[in-house]
Amino acid sequence: MYTGKTAKLFNKNTQEKKNMLKANSQKEVSTKLMKGLLDLVILQFLSTEPMHGYQIITKIRKNFGVYFGPSTIYPLLGTLEKKGYVDSQWNMNFERPRKIYSLTTNGQNMLNFTEESLNLICRKITNSNADSTPEVRIINGKSRDRLEFRSTLIRQQN
């Protein structure tokens, strides 16, 4: 249909469009996962150290490349506090007062339960593959402020 330089240009443009669609799809999936797991991400950050809301907002953006503003984060922190997963205290040592959030024992229990639940879901999804067992680990990165979700298949030894 196309020949020579036109064909190369057409193929290059087509490949670039495919790459852009793939990148957009990956970003979309990442954003959807973040929205669905935002409370878990916040609890995980608070498990490493107490933080104020703006710290949480910046860590999410820095680590995941997704921006959730104050109108999302502060109501979620309030909900987590009502559920007993986080506590808060006002810190007056800054220029202006800041509400510092910390993880409770119930919050840590929720983190543990969620990790177990994610493992169960992965096992059910891959149940058709009898040679592997999926595993999801919620871990802290090297700097202890980076949250990673890793899914691996572990081959069963018979």
Give me the residue spans of the domains in the chain.
4-155
pLDDT value, residue 113: 93
pLDDT value, residue 142: 41
Q: What is the CATH number of domain 4-155?
A: 1.10.10.10
Per-residue pLDDT of the chain (158 residues; tens, 9 = 90+): 556 666 666 666 677 766 666 667 777 877 777 788 899 999 999 999 999 999 999 999 999 888 999 999 999 999 999 999 999 999 999 889 999 999 999 999 999 998 889 888 888 888 856 555 555 555 544 444 444 444 444 443 43
3-state secondary structure the chain: CCCHHHHHHHHHHHHHHHHHHHHHHHHHHHHHHHHHHHHHHHHHHHHHCCEEHHHHHHHHHHHHCCCCCHHHHHHHHHHHHHCCCEEEEEECCCCCCEEEEEECHHHHHHHHHHHHHHHHHHHHHCCCCCCEEEEEEEEECCCCCCEEEEEEEEECCC
Question: Rounded to two decimals, what is the model's pTM?
Answer: 0.66
pLDDT value, residue 137: 54
